[in-house]
Chain A
Amino acid sequence: MGGGVTPDGESLFENAACGLVLTNPDGTIVRVNATFCSWTGFTAVELVGRRVQELLTMGGRIFHQTHWAPLMEMQGSVAEVKLDVVHRSGAIVPILFNAVRRRHGAQVFDELAVMVVNDRHKYEAELLATRSQLEAANERLHGADRRKTEFLATLAHELRNPLAPIRTGLEIMKQVELPTEGGRARAMMERQVAHMVRLIDDLMDVARIESGKIELTLARIELRQLIDSALEASRPVIEAAGHTFRLILPEGSGALFLEADLTRLSQVLSNVLNNAAKYTPRGGRVELEVEPLRDAVAIRVRDTGAGIEPQRQASIFEMFGQVAGTLNKAQGGLGIGLALARTLTKMHGGRIEAQSPGLGAGSTFTIHLPTVAAARRDASPSWQEGERPVRPLNVLIVEDNQDNAETMCMLMELGGHAVRIAHSGRAGLERAASWRPDLILLDIGLPDLEGYEVARSLRADPHTAGCTLVALTGWGAAEDKRLSEEAGFDAHFTKPLAPAELFAFMHDTFGGPTG
């Protein structure tokens, strides 16, 4: 042994590095050490006989009664309970408690060991404050994001409106003899408008996906249907860029089925094919290869184009990811298409990836999709393209946008129909009652009455109940279609109207010129 003296038990208890308190099970203090006394400002004589819970703040006493006391009864211990003790001076001392209930002979005591946790308390308060700040900031961001999405949806909707009369106007020009230059200009305008409609549709889709408003219409389809549908849209783009195209379909890929929304998935594949065409210098090569996997299929689109820098291969699927990138700037693009493709693929239970050895080395986009067992194929409607002549009709156009009404009118007159125009819901009702048209093309967003209301009134009036009612609207969500069906519409077309679809509907409803 050295020269030092080991402190005895009494001294160890009194001056321990933690406060020590011995109480009866009801909290009455029996013994307390000097450390605890110095932390709380009371003498041992003052403390003995008092209840330990009386040293707590009122809130702490409630906590003691509702948590501590039952825990002591039920498991004989509590650990790491932090409560505020009121110092003799009135100051608050944050203290961390550990306690064990133990039998000593015939008597049961609670043994408490406590630590002052000033710094930890401050740190914790800071953490909590930071957390609530973060929550508030998050909430604000969420709100801003929601407003941005709403803005995008509204913007897309508003952009569609002026395109409607332009598109119809171009359709009219097609049927009128134009000088060569005029014809070329018309064709150019038609292509550009079609492109603009696609961009706006993408924008609207993204906004609707972001706000969770898009729903898939799932059906069992053959993989081949998907590829045909996408190629139908993309082949002209690939050919226009002078690329050679190769489709690699291994044996057995004809027996691959998907549970999918054909329109949406072909939008995805077509987007990837169009990108390949767009970002590959003229005269390049684009390949589409199908690889059947176990319960899945990988669809690869390879090109010999611009390629992607390694660090950007993940971010190109982010919204607006193309904007800041080094991809061929001249080609532009908002960077919506790939974000949309990724979301739609995900909604189908699949994923999409991009690989590229680097800039200028071409890229491969792979779409993985789950496959399903072959079963009865859902019959898909076959749209016949081309002329759909219709017998002469009386057509009433109810539309508040003058240009739109005028161009629709011209289009109908070119088809040999008699046309009347009304610019409000009420005027439309009056005109319908007096003139008894065969077909009424009705805008939903009218200044006085909602189109739905006009439709219901028309259906309620025996003079007009038999008319064919077509809704024309900028809103094409399933919910809008349901509403128009409920209001009594026979058909619902989204603006800008594709005239061929309307003609097909008219042909099916009214029959050809002789029928």
Chain B
Amino acid sequence: MKLQQRNNITVHGDGPATMLFAHGFGCDQTMWRNLTPSFGARYRLILFDLVGSGKSDLSAYDYRKYSTLHGYADDVLEIADQFAVGPLIFVGHSVSAIIGMLAAIKEPHRFAANLMVGPSPSYINDGDYIGGFSRGDIEGLLQALESNYLGWSSNMAPAIMGAPHKPELGVELTNSFCRTNPDIAKHFARVTFTADHRKDLPLVTTPSLIVQCSEDSIAPRPVGEFMHKAIRHSSLRVVENVGHCPHLSSPGSTFDAMRGFLTELDL
């Protein structure tokens, strides 16, 4: 099967270096759209959907392969091999920040920089480490998914209400970026929120930026600080934003943080 279809890869912009954008849990590549216009003039941009999300090929969802984040990291390396030109800047949101980190640990020579938006190496509290959640909370998330994916599963008619003042979004309403197979969504949720990659942080050699939101219940500030301490060559920038998606709700300051970091690296 072609990689392009498997991951619904789209290429935009142009430039001597490539930015590879990976979305987080629950959405698809559409969520980068407030940020990509600012980068498109300077870089080649590759966007894709994780297998099991968005418009990826759901039949390629191999429950064994994707039972750890390494399965996704291998996909990232394949996409980079086939689509990247020049130095590679990986941009990952949430779980994908960790996926990019794992890929960079596997093949450090491929990555010039890793921009991590709202990353967390482990969501579950463990002794002194405060990830923010207990295992029971994750079960609660699976329940919420079960209730809502009943109506949102990709084989049911779209139920998401229109936004009359934004008619340009019409296409998305019938083809929502939150739709996927409910079983896959639950599996992905479990894999995402029970993964623990704290031990991998010291292995990172790629220059890394941690974009930390000032207030984020999924990746709270102590988690960002923990990562900053554990990853050599890392920078921590706090963006004024409430919530877990600064690239959607505060795209300007997110862009500034990223651009500043890349300028320092001459990228």
Binding site for B on A (CB under 8 A): 25-27, 53, 57-63, 65-67, 69-71, 73-84, 94, 98, 100-103, 121, 124, 128
Contact = CB atoms under 8 A, between A and B. Distances in A.
Given A66-B26, A76-B165, A83-B147, 8 more contacts: A58-B133, A60-B140, A63-B144, A71-B178, A73-B34, A74-B172, A79-B159, A102-B165
A217 to B, nearest CB: 30
Contacts of B4: none
Given A74-B172, A100-B161, A128 B243 contact: no
A76 B146 contact: no
B163 interface: yes
A26 to B, nearest CB: 4
Contact of B26 (A70, A102, A128): A70
A67 B245 CA distance: 10
B134 interface: yes
B138 interface: yes
Given A66-B24, A67-B26, A73 B245 contact: yes
Interface size class of B (residues with CB under 8 A): 35 or more
Contacts of B242: 26-27
B137 A77 contact: no
29 contacts: A26-B242, A26-B243, A58-B133, A58-B137, A59-B143, A60-B141, A63-B26, A63-B141, A63-B148, A65-B216, A65-B245, A66-B26, A66-B27, A66-B94, A69-B243, A69-B245, A70-B27, A70-B245, A71-B178, A74-B30, A74-B177, A76-B163, A77-B161, A77-B162, A82-B147, A83-B148, A84-B143, A98-B161, A102-B165
B147, B242, B249 pick with most chain A CB within 10 angstroms = B147
Contacts of A94: 147
B248 interface: yes
A65 to B, nearest CB: 4
Interface string B152-193: 000000011111011001001100111000000000000001
A293 B44 CA distance: 59
Contacts of B195: none
Given A59-B141, A67-B148, A69-B245, A74 B31 contact: yes
Contacts of A59: 137-144
Contacts of B137: 57-59, 62
A74 B169 contact: yes
B151 interface: yes
Contacts of A77: 160-163
Contacts of A78: 160-161
Contacts of A27: 242
Interface string B29-40: 011011000000
Given A71-B178, A124-B150, A60 B144 contact: yes
Nearest to A101: B163
B217 A73 contact: no
B148 A82 contact: yes
B25 interface: yes
Contacts of B218: 62, 65-66
Contacts of A102: 165
B24 to A, nearest CB: 7
A62 B147 contact: no
Contacts of B248: 69-70, 73-74
B24 A81 contact: no
B6 interface: no
A31 B160 CA distance: 25
Contacts of B161: 77-79, 98, 100
A26 B241 CA distance: 9
Given A74-B177, A75-B160, A79-B160, A62 B141 contact: yes
Contacts of B33: 74
B138, B178, B193 pick with most chain A CB within 10 angstroms = B178
Contacts of B145: 63
B244 interface: yes
A94 B216 CA distance: 25
Which 8 interchain pairs have the tightest Cβ spacing? Answer: A59-B140, A66-B26, A58-B137, A79-B161, A76-B163, A59-B141, A26-B242, A63-B144
A206 B30 CA distance: 51
Contacts of B216: 65
A74 B33 CA distance: 9
A75 B243 contact: no
